[in-house]
Structures are given as C-alpha cells and as structure tokens.
Amino acid sequence: MLLENVSIASPLNKKFVTGSDFDKLDILEHQDIKILNGKIESITPTSYPKKESRWVIPAFCDPHTHLVFGGTRENEIDLRKTMGYGEVLKRGGGIYSTIKSTTECDEDTLYNESMERIVSMMHHGTAIFESKTGYGIKAEVEEKMLDVMERIERKLRVRIKKTLLAHVVPRNGNEKGYLKEFKDMIEEFRGRIDYVDVFVDDGAFSPSFAREAIQFANSLGIPGRVHLNELKNLGGVGILSGLDIVSYDHMLETNEVELDKIRGTITILPFTAINLRKSGSIFSAMKEKRKVLAMGSDLSPNTYITSFPLAISLARQLFPFTIENLINMSTLNSCYSLSLSEVAGSLHPGKEANLIVLKEGFGKIGYKFGENPIKSVIINGKVLRADRN
C-alpha cells in the first residue's frame, strides 16, 4: 500500500520523549509512505507534490482500559454529583455493582459487548490496547475476563496487553485473605498476563497490600502498574519505592516531593480526572520535572469513553498539555509504558503501520470540539472504513 503526498506529524524516533522533545513533533511535509506486510517500509519525499496533502499521525496506544465488563452504570452519573465516587463505592455501588454484573454475565455476552467497545475504539484511532481484569475478584470470573480478552485478540489480530488487577476488597472479606487469593491468581495466570496492577486508594487497597502483591509478581518476572493517588494520597509512592512498577496511573493527589521519586511512566487519565471534578494541578509539575508522561482513556463502566480524540480534546482544553504533548503521550510514550515503543508508537520505517489519516491539520483536534477529526485508520497495514462513527 502507498499513501501518497501526506504530511507527517510523529514523535521523534526515540524510546520515549520528555523535556523539550516532549513539546515537539517530527514534521515532514509531502511524503509517500510505503506499507508492506503490516509495517512501514519507507517514507520518502513525494516526487510531484500537489499543494494539498493530508495529515497523518501515529494511531493511538491506550495503556489503561477496563475494556471487559458486564452491565452499565449510567444511573450513577447523577448520584455521584451529590455523593461522590467514594461514597457510591462504599455503599456497594460503583466497582461492586460491576463485579455483580460481570459475574452474572455469560462469556459470550461479555465478549460481544467488549467487542463492540474495542471496535469503536479502533474506529476512533486506537491501535494498541492494555486491558485489565478486576471486575471478577474471584479467580474463575477473573479468568472469564482473560478468556474474553484472548478471544478478542485472536479475532481482531490487535495487541492487547493484559493486566491482572486487584480492584477492591471483596464485600465480606478482608485484605489479608484476599492477598493470598490474589497471589494464587498471579501464579495461576502467569504466562497469560503481562502486568499486575493494584487500585491503591481510600475504599480500595492499602499501599502495603500493593507492595506485597507487586513484590510477588516481580519475583515471577511480572512488572507492576498501579492505580495510585486517584481519590486520596495514602503514602503509596514511598511505600512502593524500589519495586518494578512500569506505570503510575492517575496520580492526581501526588505531591511534588513524591514526583521526584517516581521512576516509571506516569499515565494520566483526563476523562476520569474531570469525572472526579479534580483540577489536575499537579500536571504542570509533572511536565516541568520531565517525567515520562503517557495518557490513557480509562474506559470503564464509570468513564465510558471509546473516543481517544475526545479524551485528547478534553485534556487540551482543561489541562496544561499542548496538542504536541498529547500526541506524544498517547502514541510513543504510551507504547513505552507497554514495552512496545521500539516496534510501534511513531512513524518511522520498520515500525508497525498503525496510523491515522486526519481530515485536517492535527492542530484541529480539540478545537473543533466533539467533531471526529479522523478520515481513516490503518492498523497493522489494514485500512478501517472511514465512514463509520
């Protein structure tokens, strides 16, 4: 396949970008992109460039999703306005309500509903995914979630990095008891999972639970990811130091001293921050301190968003990130957090041919608010229909 006379805006050809590199994109106008066997074969100047050329950016990589779940929670939107996310959860709603519906949902329904979501995400430009368990709690339901992810992966031939997530303490259980169960699951599912994640927060798990669980995962060669400081800061950064944690997610309540200690990628989840009415005031410090920043959708029954361009638009309007920052965060840097930045995440020969052909310049993303900026999406060299959405 040949994409003729396109203008390219891509992250630099690096493992990840921070600092001044984070503020820019590699821009090459009037190029021909040759795609062969799902990869970018070459990028060369167009021989007879016409004036008009379409803009192309890398497809998105979503490093934080809760793609697989049963039921929906639209009834909580208005409830959260009076009660807040934490109180809904404490009363057995929120994650607990999704655990119930996921447990009751048969595997085929779970597969079909998750499939619908991921296909929508692909049509909105996402090519690479991370997906978490965590709405099962019990091993057999967690396994059902993993089965669904593997079925989707086989069917669509897209990459889904899988994460075993300790989401909340069982309703009539305790942390200590669940730690043993969770460690057993890590052992049982090793080989099928890429990461272990813990939701460390008020109403969820303590930092010491996370330390033990991730230490155990690390001893089996499985890196950690964490949901941290989303609602409240429980001192997790200090307690988790020294572990192999590749991504610190949310981080809204983190302070600047703690930021200095973070080694892994920080993944921000803009729609969730807005949903929780958080200011995101720490984001500027994250940028200034040259942290490796990635961005995810956090698609979940709480924040049901399948459009990455919409998440970028919200972040661009409300938070201190430029469009260049946001493209870097949601392509190369998010691939880096999934150990994929050497094979994907930017437009360079040899990399996977995952790209988005835009209707206009990339600067219009988040400007023409709520409009779909995408003309077509190419994933592993295959074009998706441009007229869906």
Residues that bind ligand NIG (CB under 6 A): 66, 94-95, 98, 199, 227, 230, 272, 298, 300-302
Partner from Fe ion, ligand NIG, none binding residue 230, C-beta < 5-8 Å depending on class: ligand NIG
Q: Considering only 188-196, 294-302, 317-325, 368-376, which stretch makes contact with Fe ion by CB under 5 A?
A: 294-302
58 vs 94, which CB is nearer to ligand NIG?
94
- Specify which residues 42 forms β-bridges with: 34
159, two tokens: 């990459």
Partner from ligand NIG, Fe ion, none binding residue 95, C-beta < 5-8 Å depending on class: ligand NIG
- Provide the minimum distance between the beta carbon of 250 and ligand NIG in the complex, in angstroms, as a whole number: 6
298 vs 324, which CB is nearer to Fe ion?
298
- Provide the minimum distance between the beta carbon of 140 and Fe ion in the complex, in angstroms, as a whole number: 22
146 vs 200, which CB is nearer to ligand NIG?
200
5 vs 102, which CB is nearer to ligand NIG?
102
199 vs 308, which CB is nearer to ligand NIG?
199
105 vs 299, which CB is nearer to Fe ion?
299
- Provide the minimum distance between the beta carbon of 269 and Fe ion in the complex, in angstroms, as a whole number: 7
Q: Considering only 46-54, 254-262, 296-304, 352-360, which stretch makes contact with Fe ion by CB under 5 A?
A: 296-304
Task: Tell me the three state secondary structure of residue 237.
Answer: helix
Query: Residue with CB nearest ligand NIG?
Result: 302
DSSP state letter for 360: S
Partner from Fe ion, ligand NIG, none binding residue 287, C-beta < 5-8 Å depending on class: none
- Provide the minimum distance between the beta carbon of 254 and Fe ion in the complex, in angstroms, as a whole number: 16
Half-sphere exposure of 55 (CA within 13 A, CB side): 16
Half-sphere exposure of 118 (CA within 13 A, CB side): 31
283, two tokens: 């984001």
Among residues 213, 220, 265, 260, the alpha carbon closest in space to that of 240 is found at 213
- Provide the minimum distance between the beta carbon of 60 and ligand NIG in the complex, in angstroms, as a whole number: 18
Query: Could you tell me if 163 and 194 are in contact, meaning their C-beta atoms sit under 8 angstroms apart?
Result: yes
Distance CA 289, CA 297 (A): 23
Q: Considering only 121-129, 136-144, 292-300, 329-337, which stretch makes contact with Fe ion by CB under 5 A?
A: 292-300
Query: Residue with CB nearest Fe ion?
Result: 298
- Provide the minimum distance between the beta carbon of 41 and Fe ion in the complex, in angstroms, as a whole number: 37
Half-sphere exposure of 310 (CA within 13 A, CB side): 19
Number of residues that make up the chain: 389
- Provide the minimum distance between the beta carbon of 34 and ligand NIG in the complex, in angstroms, as a whole number: 39
DSSP state letter for 247: E
Q: Considering only 51-59, 291-299, 304-312, 323-331, which stretch makes contact with Fe ion by CB under 5 A?
A: 291-299
Partner from ligand NIG, Fe ion, none binding residue 301, C-beta < 5-8 Å depending on class: ligand NIG
18 vs 101, which CB is nearer to ligand NIG?
101
Partner from Fe ion, ligand NIG, none binding residue 125, C-beta < 5-8 Å depending on class: none
- Give me Rg for the CA atoms of the chain: 20
16 vs 199, which CB is nearer to ligand NIG?
199
Q: How far is CA 87 from each of CA 46, 92, 93, 231, rounded to the nearest angstrom?
A: 58, 9, 9, 11
Task: Tell me the three state secondary structure of residue 127.
Answer: strand
Query: Could you tell me if 37 and 1 are in contact, meaning their C-beta atoms sit under 8 angstroms apart?
Result: no
> Which run of H or of E encompasses 101?
helix 95-104
> Residues binding Fe ion: what is the number (CB under 5 A)?
1
- Provide the minimum distance between the beta carbon of 227 and Fe ion in the complex, in angstroms, as a whole number: 5
- Buried/exposed code over 261-279 (b: 16+ C-beta within 10 A; e: otherwise): ebebbbbbbbbbbbbbeee
- Provide the minimum distance between the beta carbon of 65 and ligand NIG in the complex, in angstroms, as a whole number: 9
Distance CA 98, CA 282 (A): 30
User: What are the helix (H) ranges across 137-265?
Assistant: 139-156, 175-189, 207-219, 236-239, 256-261
Distance CA 281, CA 319 (A): 8
258 vs 298, which CB is nearer to ligand NIG?
298
Query: Residue 176: CB partners within 8 Å, gap ≥ 6?
Result: none
| Residue ranges in contact with Fe ion by CB under 5 A | 298
